[in-house]
Amino acid sequence: MSQGPELIITEKDNAARRIADILSGGSAEAERTRGVNVYTWGGRRCIGLSGHVVGVDFPPEYDDWRDVEPVELIDAPIDKRPTQENIVSALRLLARTAGRVVIATDYDREGELIGKEAYELVREVDDDVPIDRVRFSSITEREVTEAFATPDDLDFDLAAAGEARQIVDLVWGAALTRFLSLSARQLGDDFISVGRVQGPTLKLIVDREREIEAFDSEDYWELFADLAKGDSDAGDDPDGAFEAQYFYHDDDGTEAERVWDEGAASGAYETLETASTATVDSVRRRTRTDDPPAPFNTTQFIRAASSLNYTAQRAMSIAEDLYTAGYITYPRTDNTVYPDDLDPRELLDAFVGTRQFGDDAESLLDREEIDPTEGDEETTDHPPIHPTGELPGAADLDDDEWEVYELVVRRFFATVADPATWEHLRVVAAVASEGEDLLLKANGKRLVEPGYHAVYPYSSASESFVPDVREGEELTVTDTSFEAKQTQPPRRYGQSRLIETMESMGIGTKATRHNVIQKLYDRGYIESDPPRPTRLAHAVVEAAEEFAERVVSEEMTAQLEADMQAITRGDATLEDVTRESREMLEEVFEGLMESGEAVGDHLRESLKADRTVGACPECGSDLVIRQSRQGSYFIGCDAYPECTRTLPLPSTGKPLLLEETCNDHGLTQVKMLAGRKTFVHGCPLCQAEAADAQEDRVIGACPDCGTDHGGELAIKQLRSGSRLVGCTRYPDCDYSLPLPRRGDLEVTDGVCEEHDLPELRITYDDEDRESWALGCPICNYREYQAEQAGGSELESVSGIGEKTAEKLQNVGIDDVPSLKEAEPDAVADRVDGVGPDTVREWQAKAD
DNA sequence: GCAAGGTC
């Protein structure tokens, strides 16, 4: 019987720290073993893994894609290998001296598997140390103490269910991915992948695009009238004016607003236009309650953050940081029911007295009863996302982090707030006509009790005004309008809508869905935001639909889920499930191998179509986007070397082909993706022709070589679309200054005394945009560089992000010295959302 | 270098 210390293993470091803290009563100390935190106290040690620390893969002899037929992967052996060497070796080291081991990974299927992986690593070094499993729904004193008092055994069936998933996913994913990549001869970084989750996700996007492409729009008309109360001059009482819409009852008696026949529409409009009054036909008032939202799970959090313009990736990355810093709970959760041990009053109390949340917290605490909302999903691994009650100082977070933190806090507030009450008012008025009366309707709504809207400003609480009227009342028609419209195709999925749909289809998990979307971007399957599928994506989905329908269908996940449950219950084994799945894949390959060539051709054609800009003006072949050996992009003729026609592209960014084409040349418009510097380059041939037509405008002597070689500075328009002031002796002299890409450049009479160059001015064709003085190009460039440095200087103070730096600059604080000299109260008065304490914190940090 | 699932 071993006497060594007890070793507790958790899924992540954060959980290890908190559990050690609870079990040790705060006395645990962190030590480092092989670079991994180990929390130690009394006779116990606690180590956190990093999720899976071992992974499944084929043996190395299967690594070369060309040497192995993809079909051989179906029955290839599968190994488990450490993927996190340092954690694995720390675990082995600690296990050698342990007298007892307790697995305390997350309470879900994947957690059970991670626990079993730890179990096997321990068993490698000690085959008889007792190993227990503890399960708890949240890391709180009560739950954790109770779980450790009543230890259980690992559930090997549950873990096997997870292993079956690993094997099925690897075999299908790897075999099909290699097959498609080989058939299209795409073996580098641009391989062509498919899998159980990315497949159906991609099909979702492609199917929507097919609907859009097949959509035929229809014409229809809508009629509106402005109505006003009162017998007096209606125009004197704008408060009483409201808009009403014409409607009718169609054949089956349902209400309709769209008029599909132009003749009928203009007939009705003639009557409406000539009418001076309408009589109130009916008034209906209803009171509706608007319940506060459920607590945040990952998907709903991403959705709310996306309405604040965060991408799914960005929102999760910020949430991760807030979690690691201790301000919010674990951000990857399906749970929408707060655990019993969350005391809303206690959590609200934590916000009392704070500048941003104090008043709202107090007003929520003021009520007799606090009853949090609940969603439909209740799980055992993590609570819904909520603030921990540990508050960040204003300087601890940058602007984006603060905005997301506030969202999480206010969502918690909303879930414990009261419902809102709306009053809906529907008015129907009739305009007399020779035939049947014309009907007009207006729907008003008024927020009577703001309820949760008072603390949660993210969901719409906009009102629409319709005045109090009574039946039979005469209203004045003050204006009418007749609008020709067209039915619109369905909209593309946005990222958060895609994630919601994946969730409802049961594909992916809370921790992976946003990564799957990123993967589709990385593979060249989707572009832009909202994502639009490439031709390659269409081809991959088409190939899968024909030969491997399962891998683009949600059915595969549903079946796997059922199989995993059978394994968990003990009704099936891992071997049963994986054997059956392999057999199915064998069948898929029978069809696929016969048509491999055709599939490959189609994929290659689509890849080319994604890069094709249009017809070569020289020879009529395709102009395609290519990459030079240095990595820069250009457009070249596909008939190269017979045709050597090329067109340059801007040096910044990655080209994206837009849907619009150039009216003059029929070439596709190009957009350059470069993060915040993204811009539309337009038609590459127009750009090149414009540059050829524009002569260089000499403005003075070159400061580098003017004296020695007589070089001159000229304004140049490059064929790649950029504009600069550069030396006429280029390439012998490469002196150059950047100029803005947009606007017309005017050389003024003003002269810079320092550099003896004319001052420049930028004007725009667009009348709404004001022209501005760029000045001497050398001075301008110098200022630009100083500005870059200045901006980043304020941002070097922790807690000041780009937006805050901008606000501070607006009140004259443009560098660190001026920030330090500033009077905190004065700054707080003038800068929105900043308090004097915050300014003092910045000043302290700036020292 | 393939998947999907953990975590960072």
Q: Please say if the pLDDT value at position A726 is more than 70.
A: yes
Shortest-distance nucleotide from A111 CA to C1': B6
User: Closest nucleotide to A172's CA, by C1' atom?
Assistant: B3
Answer yes or no: is A64 within a domain.
no
Amino acid occupying residue A376: D
What does the mean pLDDT of chain A come to?
A: 90
Q: Evaluate if the CB of A6 falls below 7 Å from strand B.
A: no
Q: Does the C-beta of A12 come within 7 A of strand B? A: yes
**Cβ contact A115 with chain B strand, < 7 A:** no
CA of A198 to C1' of B7 (A): 20
Instruction: Tell me the pLDDT band of A205, cut-offs 50, 70 and 90.
Output: very high
Give pLDDT, residue A614. Answer: 92
The distance (Å) linking the CA of A515 with the C1' of B6 is: 13
CA A193 to C1' B3 (Å) is 9
How far does the CA of A445 sit from the C1' of B5, in Å?
Answer: 47
Determine the Cα–Cα distance for residues A807 and A580; give it in Å rounded to an integer: 63
- A62 is a domain residue: no
HEC letters along A248-294: EECCCCCEECCECCHHHHHHHHHHHHHCCEEEEEEEEEEEEEECCCC
CATH number of the domain where residue A811 is located: 1.10.150
Q: What is the pLDDT of residues A523-557, one digit of tens each?
A: 999 999 999 999 999 999 999 999 999 999 999 99
| CA–CA dist A616, A636 (Å, integer) | 9
Separation between the CA of A12 and the C1’ of B7 (whole angstroms): 7
Q: How far is the CA of A636 from the C1' of B1 (A)?
A: 28
Q: CA at A229, C1' at B8: how many angstroms apart?
A: 63
Q: Quickly give A39 CA vs B8 C1' distance in Å.
A: 19
> Strand B contacts (CB < 7 A) among A residues 549-608?
none
Which 444-483 residues of chain A approach strand B with CB closer than 7 Å?
none
Q: Which two tokens stand for residue A809?
A: 């600059």
What is the CATH classification number for the domain harbouring A552? 1.10.460.10
Would the Cβ of A839 be found within 7 angstroms of any atom in strand B?
Answer: no
Query: What pLDDT score does A233 carry?
Result: 52
* Confidence (pLDDT) at A689: 83
Residue A563 neighbours by CB distance under 10 Å: 22
Chain A residues 489-518 with Cβ under 7 Å of strand B are 507-512, 515-516
- The answer on A698 and A678 residing in a single domain is no
- Closest to A293 (Cα-Cα) out of A373, A379, A377, A413: A373
Beginning with the edge strand found earlier in the chain, give each strand of the sheet holding A654-661 in spatial order. Answer: A654-661, A668-673, A679-682
Regarding whether A142 and A37 lie in a shared domain, the answer is yes
Nucleotide nearest the Cα atom of A316 (by C1'): B8
Residue A509, CA: closest nucleotide via C1'? B5
Does residue A166 approach strand B to less than 7 Å at its CB?
Answer: yes
- Which residue lies nearest B6, CA-to-C1' measured? A51
Cβ atoms of A771 and A798 within 8 Å: the answer is no
Q: Give the per-residue pLDDT at A331.
A: 95
Q: How confident is the model at residue A314 (pLDDT cuts 50, 70, 90)?
A: very high
At A827 the pLDDT is 62
What whole-number percentage of chain A has pLDDT above 90?
68
The answer to which of A123-132, A315-324, A769-778 has the lowest mean pLDDT is A769-778
> Which of the nucleotides lies closest to A178 (Cα–C1')?
B2
Q: State the nucleotide closest to A177 in CA–C1' terms.
A: B2
- At A597-608, the pLDDT tens digits run 999 999 999 999
Q: Which residues of A are catalytic?
A: 330
A51 touches strand B (CB under 7 A): yes
Band (pLDDT 50/70/90 cuts) for residue A737 is: confident
Question: Which among A486, A517, A539 is the end of a domain?
Answer: A486
Q: Mean of the pLDDT values across residues A311-328?
A: 94
- Statement: the CB of A45 is under 7 Å from strand B: no
Q: Is the CB of A66 under 7 A from strand B?
A: yes
**What DSSP letter does each residue of A499-533 carry, written as one string?**
HHHHHHHT-S-TTTHHHHHHHHHHTTSEETTTTEE
Greater pLDDT, A470 or A727: A470
Q: Are residues A472 and A392 in the same domain?
A: no
Query: Does at least one atom of strand B sit less than 7 Å from the CB of A48?
Result: yes
User: In 3D, which of A95, A102, A120 has the Cα closest to residue A15?
Assistant: A102
Domain count, chain A: 7
Q: Which residues contact A699 (CB under 8 A, 6 or more apart)?
A: A713, A714, A715, A725, A747, A757, A758, A777
A124 in any annotated domain: yes
Residue A164 lies in a domain: no
Whether A287 has a pLDDT exceeding 50, the answer reads yes
For residues A142 and A33, state if they share a domain.
Answer: yes
Give the CA A399 to C1' B1 distance in Å: 38
pLDDT for residue A712: 80
A521 touches strand B (CB under 7 A): no
A191 touches strand B (CB under 7 A): yes
CATH number at residue A16: 3.40.50.140
HSE-up (13 A, CA, CB side) for residue A426: 6
The answer to which of A176-185, A326-335, A375-384, A677-686 has the lowest mean pLDDT is: A677-686
Higher per-residue confidence, A546 vs A627: A546
pLDDT at A517 over 50: yes
A827 CA, B2 C1': Å apart? 56
> Are A22 and A134 members of one domain?
yes
Quick one: CA dihedral A736, A740, A742, A746, positive or negative? Answer: negative
Domain boundary among A441, A457, A486: A486
In Å, what is the separation between the CA of A25 and the C1' of B1?
48
Stretch (H or E) spanning A400 = helix A399-415
For residue A241, give the CATH number of its domain: 2.70.20.10
- State, as a whole number of angstroms, the distance between the CA of A188 and the C1' of B1: 7
**Which is it for the CA torsion A828, A833, A834, A838, positive or negative?**
positive
pLDDT at A696: 82
What is residue A773's predicted lDDT score, i.e. its pLDDT?
A: 83
A89 shares a domain with A15: yes
Nucleotides in chain B near protein beta carbons (<7 Å): 1-8
Cis peptide before A530 (omega within 30 of 0): yes
Indicate which CATH number applies to the domain containing A352: 1.10.290.10
Above 80 in pLDDT, residue A169?
yes
Flag whether A521 is in a domain. yes
Distance A38 CA to B1 C1' (A): 35
In tens, the pLDDT along A792-821 reads 456 555 556 555 565 555 555 665 556 667
The pLDDT confidence band at residue A842, using thresholds 50, 70 and 90, is: low
- Residue A726 forms part of a structural domain: yes
pLDDT(A788) > 60: no
Q: What is the DSSP letter of A35?
A: T
Residue A736 has pLDDT above 60, yes or no: yes
Please give the nucleotide, over all strands, whose C1' is closest to the CA of residue A522.
B1
The reply to whether A55 Cβ lies less than 7 angstroms from strand B is: yes
A188 touches strand B (CB under 7 A): yes
Positions 91-110 of A with beta carbon below 7 A from strand B are 106, 108, 110
Lowest mean pLDDT among A403-412, A566-575, A679-688: A679-688
Q: Which of residues 774-833 of A touch strand B (CB under 7 A)?
A: none
Quote the tokens at residue A845.
Answer: 């940090």
Rg (CA), chain A: 33
Please name the nucleotide lying closest to A114, CA to C1': B6
Does residue A14 sit in the same domain as residue A148?
Answer: yes
In this structure, how many other beta carbons lie within 10 angstroms of the beta carbon of residue A34?
A: 15
Whether A106 and A134 have beta carbons less than 8 Å apart is answered as no
Is residue A199's beta carbon less than 7 angstroms from any atom in nucleic acid strand B?
yes
**Banded model confidence at residue A847, pLDDT cuts 50, 70, 90:** very low
Distance (Å, whole) CA A666 – CA A89: 62
Give me the pLDDT at residue A796, please.
Answer: 56
Does A54 fall in a domain? no
Q: Which of A689, A713, A740 is the last residue of a domain?
A: A689
Q: Are residues A528 and A562 in the same domain?
A: yes
What pLDDT is attached to residue A693? 83
Q: Which of residues 322-381 of A touch strand B (CB under 7 A)?
A: 324, 332
The pLDDT score that the predictor gives to residue A234 is 44
Q: Is the CB of A83 under 7 A from strand B?
A: yes
Q: Which nucleotide is nearest to A323 (CA to C1')?
A: B8
Out of A117-131, A237-251, A442-456, A504-518, least confident range? A237-251
Same domain as A581, residue A519: yes
Is A178 near strand B, with its CB below 7 A from some atom of it?
yes
A12 and A150: one domain?
yes
Residue A169 lies in a domain: no
Mean pLDDT (whole number) for A264-268: 94
Of A132-146, A200-214, A706-720, the range with the lowest mean pLDDT is A706-720
The verdict on A409 and A558 lying in the same domain is no
Does residue A16 share a domain with residue A149?
A: yes
Domain ranges, residue A401:
298-417
pLDDT value at A348 more than 70: yes
